[in-house]
Amino acid sequence: MALTVGLVGLPNVGKSTLFNALTHGRAEASAYPFCTIDPNVGIVPVPDERLAQLQTVLTPDSCTPTAIQFTDVAGLVRGASRGEGRGNQFLADIRDADALIHVVRCFENPSVVHIDGSLDPRRDIRIVEDELILADLEIIDNVLPRLDTLVRIDPRSTRRIEFETLQALSAQLSDGCPVRDCDLSPEQLTSVNAYGLISAMPVVYVANVDESRHGNGELFQCPEELESLGRDNVLVIAAGIEAEIATLATAAEQGEFLQAMGLQERGIDRLIRTAYSLLGLITFYTFAHRKLQAWQLPHSTTAAQAAGRIHTDMEKGFIRAEVATARDLVDTGSWARLKSRGQLRIEGRTYPVEDGDVMQVLFKV
């Protein structure tokens, strides 16, 4: 199952244009607010050079990459947490996301209306952040009285840590601090996971610029207003150009376009990889019955848990895993050759799977 990334931002910032570039879709992208009514959903494969190399060497009958689901929802406005615009529905559409891509308008265009009448990226970010914080605060403040009663009746209640964590979050959210920036222990985070707090989700900002922002080399220049957010937290992308590239029929045509622009790769590919990294994922591979497949896993997942990602029976009956690196398999050309050279490792249930591992799982039914 693909993990989900929500595309959020004010109306008319270029979310639907970016979504079309990601998915080669036809989401409506117009110059007026709220042209996106229902969420647009698309499954996007993760660019993976190792998988392509493995496919060339192993010549499988089928090859399946990992994927991320992107959801483009209606633009957010001031008061969304109180139902302004399509606020309540917007919030419902993204509560199940695993991470957020916050698209920020950094281009001037008189023909595309700005919801607040002027270009101000920092203000726009604050508007969206405030609404997400207020939405989370409403959920927490609604549940605190009931939890307070529970822990008063039973001081040893297993929900005390949940109650105390929500109390602390209520105070910090009231001060404008999103949950993701609050200092919580893993136990505290687990205790409030069920609430789907939106401001707890990891976020990366996409500065949507126009072609005039093109710098020397492969990247567009980051707008000064967003530099304080940090290099790792901001991707600079010209969504209009990316959408134009997506309309080209062949990889060769896209390559020629990129070369003419002085770009080494699509900004969309960087965005997909960033989203994958944002979710804290690694990739491992399996090759069985002539089928090559990439799988996504959180960091520090054990071999037995990875086997369960393939099939629950494999985790229950896990015996051991034969493991090699994708690089070694590409270099040698076959699993049998790796085994003859002693380059296969035998790992047990608790082995932490590493990014780029290729695994064959032995299990009993």
In a domain, 308, yes or no: yes
Residue 333's domain comprises: 281-363
In a domain, 94, yes or no: no
Please name the amino acid found at residue 183: D
Give the Cα separation of 245 and 265 in Å (integer).
Answer: 11
In a domain, 359, yes or no: yes
Give the Cα separation of 180 and 171 in Å (integer).
Answer: 14
In a domain, 34, yes or no: no
Tokens of 80: 């969304």
- In the predicted model, what is the mean pLDDT of the chain? 86
State how far Cα 166 lies from the chain centre.
25
In a domain, 307, yes or no: yes
Residue 87's pLDDT band (boundaries 50, 70, 90)? very low
Number of folded domains that form the chain = 1
Looking at residue 355, its pLDDT comes to: 95
User: CA of 188: how far to CAs of 22, 98, 279, in Å?
Assistant: 35, 18, 19
Residue 362's pLDDT band (boundaries 50, 70, 90)? very high
In a domain, 339, yes or no: yes
In a domain, 196, yes or no: no
User: CA of 324: how far to CAs of 30, 264, 290, 327, 341, in Å?
Assistant: 49, 31, 17, 8, 12
Q: What is the pLDDT of residues 126-176, one digit of tens each?
A: 999 998 999 899 999 999 999 999 999 998 899 999 999 999 999 999 999
- Terminal Cα distance for the chain, rounded: 24
> CATH code at 298?
3.10.20.30
Q: Which long-range contacts (CB under 8 A, 24 or more apart) does 304-313 make?
A: 304/349, 304/350, 306/353, 306/359, 306/361, 307/359, 307/361, 307/363, 310/286, 310/361, 313/363, 313/365
In a domain, 37, yes or no: no
| Enclosing H/E stretch for 294 | strand 291-298
